[in-house]
């Protein structure tokens, strides 16, 4: 947020920077804001990732950082989490550039709220409690699994198209190192096509 003007401007609408070396002040500020009735948007992966839904299929659940789980615990499990999946950010605005790619689009899918009352403690939570960080990881993994469910529903036509194109299951698609760049360009190109168009294409091919 400090190095990129576009992201630095997010502070004007309430964006809060978090420092990896010492995230605690920001996490405490977020916890207090939630307890006062504000809603907070958190990116559990910590950043935009320049890749396609094909790669998300394999990696999404493994990338959640425990900050969101720590916030749930510091609010003693009283704050619900609404999972959401944002698609298209890598195609619309690629890392390292401020020029948007016209013809791309962004969509946001929301899931049902997740509740964590089972994690409440009579005397609350603190980082000094032995299982604070394991429980933070557990909560984060549950949230990431819910986001992946949204991902599978949002990207079902994209994923089905790839299986049709390569005539095999996603986990069996293999690309040689020589063709990896070409393959990734193809994946990004398909990701820019609206899902309804892919759906219509697949219906015609059946």
Q: What is the pLDDT of residues 167-178, one digit of tens each?
A: 999 999 988 888
Domain boundaries, the chain: 5-154, 155-206
CA dihedral over 57, 63, 66, 68, signed as positive or negative: negative
Residue 125's CB is within 10 A of a number of other CB atoms, namely: 20
The pLDDT tens digits for 10-61 are 777 777 777 777 778 888 888 888 888 888 888 888 776 777 889 889 988 8
The pLDDT tens digits of the residues spanning 55-98 come to: 889 988 888 888 899 999 999 999 899 999 988 777 676 656 55
Distance CA 150, CA 37 (A): 26
133: pLDDT strictly greater than 80: yes
Q: Give the chain's count of helices (H) and strands (E).
A: 9, 2
């Amino acid at each position: 947020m400090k190095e990129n003007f576009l992201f630095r401007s997010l502070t004007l609408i309430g964006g809060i920077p978090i420092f990896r070396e010492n995230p605690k002040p920001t996490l405490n500020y977020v916890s207090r804001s939630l307890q006062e009735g504000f809603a907070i948007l958190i990116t559990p992966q910590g950043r935009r990732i320049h890749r396609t839904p094909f790669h998300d299929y394999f990696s999404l659940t493994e990338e959640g950082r425990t900050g969101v789980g720590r916030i749930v615990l510091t609010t003693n499990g009283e704050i619900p989490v609404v999972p959401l999946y944002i698609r298209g950010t890598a195609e619309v605005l690629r890392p390292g550039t401020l020029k948007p790619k016209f013809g791309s689009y962004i969509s946001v899918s929301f899931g049902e709220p997740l509740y964590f009352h089972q994690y409440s403690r009579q005397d609350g939570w603190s980082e000094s409690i032995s299982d604070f960080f394991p429980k933070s990881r557990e909560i984060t993994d549950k949230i990431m699994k819910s986001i992946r469910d949204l991902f599978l529903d949002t990207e079902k036509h994209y994923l089905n198209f790839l299986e049709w194109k390569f005539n095999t299951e996603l986990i069996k698609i293999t690309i040689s190192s020589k063709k990896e760049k070409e393959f990734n360009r193809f994946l990004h190109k398909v990701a820019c096509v609206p899902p309804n168009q892919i759906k219509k294409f697949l219906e015609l091919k059946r």
